[in-house]
Amino acid sequence: MKRQAGELSLQLKLRRIPKVATFLIAITILLSLVISVYSPPSFWYKLGEISEATPSLEESTIRRPKDPEWPESNDTTKSKEILGGDEPGSQKAAQETAAAGSTTSSSIPSPSSPAQIDHSYNRTNSQNPTGTTQENYCDLFSGEWVPNPEAPYYTNATCYRIQDHQNCLKYARPDTGFLKWRWKPDGCVLPIFDPNHFLELVRGKSIAFIGDSVARNHMQSLICLLSRVLDPLDVSTGNDENQHWVYKDYNFNISIFSAPYLVRSEKTDPNDVTRPFNLYLDEFDEDWTTKVEGYDYIVISAGQWFFRPTIFYENRTLIGCLACQLDNVAHLRMNFSYERAFRTAFRAINSLANFKGVTFLRTITPSHFEGGSWDKGGDCVRTMPYKRNEAVLEDYMVEMYEIQQRELRIAQEEGSKRGLKFRLLDATQPMLLRPDGHPSKYGHWPNEKMANDCVHWCLPGPIDTWNDFLQELIEREEARKSLV
């Protein structure tokens, strides 16, 4: 009897095995489906050690680093000064030098490069500023331009801070369609700049813009957008190009520090801005580095001036030049000085003992000259934005963009040692698509002999979107502080 009972028990157990196996298989399939839906692509790369695929032009026209967490003067009579003080032909020669040996490959930076840029603050809607979940993924800077019939939000009649060479409405630009667009990121909404909300956001705070005349262009856009509510008091002193404004009701300050090279520089001819500059690539520009320690936010940028003829020094020793006429001197490419200038500028910020603010790197924005260089009749006459797959960065601009990304990563890594934050305000992709946003010949009267301006941006115009970005990024930073 015991033997028969044992055999019966064994038979019952054997009958259960197929049911258990079926159940386990079903659970395995279900788990696989869940992982495939909710896991980022990087999960699969780690499992299979597969390198990340390079995006096609339809997906992106700019190379972006792999995400580590988720997955000048009011004088408009001299076009040379307006366009960065270049000598005739010098920018073209420098660009050719810069482009020599450059690559148009769209490969992603090597994993062996310094710590990747922290993009988590760009990956979330403002309701959840931590950027910790894939559900809230949003890259503010990947998207497209869409119609916005409500724009513009100010005019040259309501804002007195528009310089003539950006005052396209004053000089009777015939088309106004370039004003009627807004930037729409993929997967989320970028709020339009709200002056009342912004002033509350920055109450008791300060912002410093550091860079060239395009940085000034950005700052003037901000003042114009705020003019719908309040005009600032100009508290500038001295005769230099550094300017300061205060919104007393909000205890909010805005400053612009003119630093087209970011590092210490000097004219080779004190009376001629068109002559080559000496650049001391390892020395701080104390005109701004000694004055920004108390600011809450810094927006730093640089670009077109690095195409000019320049003479390079390190350790106070002549080491080379760009597009110069010097004999027995190493002729170096533009990216040599561009990389070192950003590294020194970020090192300066990281060295400020009492600086507790956030630094935004505003990336390079391309010019849109067609039919020739700026001094050879080139112009920008388009009246509509490009679609995202209709334009790509030129090779030397790709180099500049990648240098900025790389130096930002280095600064982030160094700054993290003392809690400093370096963030990305990536204007490159959006502005690449806006050949219609430049003044062209509508920054001066027809009888004035000046070059077409395809470097700066009309006010009002697409540059106003930079302050949509700035508002959103500052809001996220302030929201993060409230969570600490």
Report whether 195 contacts 229 (CB < 8 A): yes
Where b means 16+ CB within 10 Å and e means fewer, 327-365 reads eeeeebbbbbbbbbbbbbbbbbbbebeebebbbbbbbbb
Query: What is the maximal distance between C-alpha atoms in the chain?
Result: 118
Task: Examine the residue annotation and report whether 113 is marked as an active-site residue of this protein.
Answer: no
Give the active site residue among 90, 142, 206, 213: 213
Give the active site residue among 212, 453, 464, 468: 453
Confidence at residue 136, expressed as pLDDT on a 0 to 100 scale: 53
Confidence at residue 159, expressed as pLDDT on a 0 to 100 scale: 96
Which two tokens mark 260? 């087209």
Confidence at residue 423, expressed as pLDDT on a 0 to 100 scale: 97
Which two tokens mark 76? 């408009």
Half-sphere exposure of 317 (CA within 13 A, CB side): 3
Contacts of 25 (CB under 8 A, 6+ apart): none
Confidence of residue 173 (pLDDT cuts 50, 70, 90): very high
Check if CATH label 3.40.50.970 holds for domain 151-482. Answer: no
C-beta atoms surrounding 130 within 10 Å: 14
Alpha-carbon distance of 72 to 244, in angstroms, equals 14
Task: Examine the residue annotation and report whether 79 is marked as an active-site residue of this protein.
Answer: no
- Tokens 């067609």: give the residue: 370
**CA angle 477–208–150, rounded 5-degree value:** 70
Q: Where are the domains of the chain?
A: 151-482
Helix (H, G, I), strand (E, B) or coil at 243: strand
Q: Is the peptide bond before 191 cis (omega within 30 degrees of 0)?
A: no
Instruction: Give the residue from 322, 310, 300, 250 showing the smallest Cα distance to 280.
Output: 310
DSSP-derived secondary structure for 202-215: TTT-EEEEEESHHH
Task: For residues 250-258, give the mean pLDDT.
Answer: 98
Summary count for the chain: helices (H), strands (E):
11, 13
- Tokens 């003829």: give the residue: 309
90-99 vs 395-415: helix crossing angle, rounded to 10: 70
**Which amino acid appears at position 462 of this protein?**
P
Report whether 354 contacts 290 (CB < 8 A): no
Q: Is the pLDDT of residue 53 over 90?
A: no
The chain-wide mean pLDDT, for the chain, equals: 79
Alpha-carbon distance of 67 to 154, in angstroms, equals 37
Which two tokens mark 263? 């590092």
Alpha-carbon distance of 391 to 43, in angstroms, equals 32
- Tokens 């680093």: give the residue: 65
Task: Give CA separation, 50 vs 45, 47, 112, 113, 404, in Å.
Answer: 5, 8, 16, 18, 27
Confidence at residue 50, expressed as pLDDT on a 0 to 100 scale: 23
Alpha-carbon distance of 180 to 176, in angstroms, equals 8
Task: Examine the residue annotation and report whether 194 is marked as an active-site residue of this protein.
Answer: no
Confidence of residue 395 (pLDDT cuts 50, 70, 90): confident
Q: Is the pLDDT of residue 59 over 80?
A: no
Confidence at residue 484, expressed as pLDDT on a 0 to 100 scale: 66
Where b means 16+ CB within 10 Å and e means fewer, 84-107 reads bbbbeebbbbbbebbbeebeeeee
213-226 vs 465-483: helix crossing angle, rounded to 10: 80
For 443-465, how does the pLDDT look when each residue is reduced to its tens digit (9 = 90+)?
999 999 899 999 999 999 999 99
For 187-233, how does the pLDDT look when each residue is reduced to its tens digit (9 = 90+)?
899 999 999 999 999 999 999 999 999 999 999 999 999 999 999 99
Helix (H, G, I), strand (E, B) or coil at 44: helix
For 104-143, how does the pLDDT look when each residue is reduced to its tens digit (9 = 90+)?
333 223 323 333 444 444 444 444 433 333 345 589 999 9
Report whether 419 contacts 353 (CB < 8 A): no
Q: What order do you get walking across the sheet with 233-234 strand by strand?
A: 233-234, 243-247, 252-258, 206-211, 297-300, 358-362, 421-425
Confidence of residue 394 (pLDDT cuts 50, 70, 90): confident
Give the active site residue among 285, 438, 456, 468: 456
Contacts of 14 (CB under 8 A, 6+ apart): none
